[in-house]
A and B are shown apart, each in its own frame.
Chain A
Amino acid sequence: QKEVEQDPGPLSVPEGAIVSLNCTYSNSAFQYFMWYRQYSRKGPELLMYTYSSGNKEDGRFTAQVDKSSKYISLFIRDSQPSDSATYLCAMSSLLTGGGNKLTFGTGTQLKVEL
């Protein structure tokens, strides 16, 4: 079993839809959770960084962490064609010092259609 599970998609939604992206994990030591967006042939771009359980909002993006269920989500409101990309969840533990040594999900490919 992988430490981090993420549905690879592809996920196709119409413009304006609310998108829900999810990851589950098995390592209870994970304390830091991140979402990265990666456009084709580009490096990942940090979107959200969360530490505690609960919600964190930034513009159209909301990150949600449920440590009791070992489940994290990224919601995108009013999705745009420019949101079409691969979304990677990543996490790390106190043992590896916060942002050190990230464990990534496989990434979910999202396509927002006009």
Chain B
Amino acid sequence: GAVVSQHPSRVICKSGTSVKIECRSLDFQATTMFWYRQFPKQSLMLMATSNEGSKATYEQGVEKDKFLINHASLTLSTLTVTSAHPEDSSFYICSGLSGGIQETQYFGPGTRLLVL
């Protein structure tokens, strides 16, 4: 299946700093990528849909100025958590949408963010 990587896998930062998370599709081109967050023992909550070369579409309740998304190429999307606070601590997962007949999402391994 298609492979998606994320970097870093884990990050600890101080409150008020910004953190950038990279999502790469390694063996396919993803015109669309998605960003999710997942709290312990809960399901994935979609934050935003990122299309290459255009502005991301954010889900209701997600602050676009706080969670900056850039999808500069067909294989790279970044999520920047600006002025992070402890309540932003979570597991952030990206996915890339594959093409073909059975278009579906392939997920990265996730990034665990801890804001102190």
Contact = CB atoms under 8 A, between A and B. Distances in A.
Interface of A: 8, 32, 34, 36, 41-46, 49, 51, 88, 97-102, 104-107, 109
Given A41-B91, A88-B44, A99-B98, A46 B104 contact: yes
B105 A43 contact: no
A36 B107 contact: yes
Given A43-B109, A45-B107, A100 B97 contact: yes
Interface string B91-116: 10101011000111111111010000
A46 B46 CA distance: 17
A51 B102 CA distance: 9
A34 B104 contact: yes
A100 B46 CA distance: 11
A46 B95 CA distance: 11
B12 to A, nearest CB: 15
29 contacts: A41-B91, A43-B95, A43-B108, A43-B109, A44-B44, A44-B93, A44-B107, A45-B107, A46-B1, A46-B104, A46-B105, A46-B107, A51-B102, A88-B43, A88-B44, A97-B103, A98-B102, A98-B103, A99-B98, A99-B102, A99-B103, A100-B49, A100-B103, A101-B34, A104-B44, A106-B42, A106-B43, A107-B43, A109-B41
B32 A100 contact: yes
Interface of B: 1, 4, 6, 32, 34, 41-44, 46, 49, 91, 93, 95, 97-98, 102-110, 112
B97 A42 contact: no
B105 A99 contact: yes
Contact of B110 (A36, A43, A100): A43
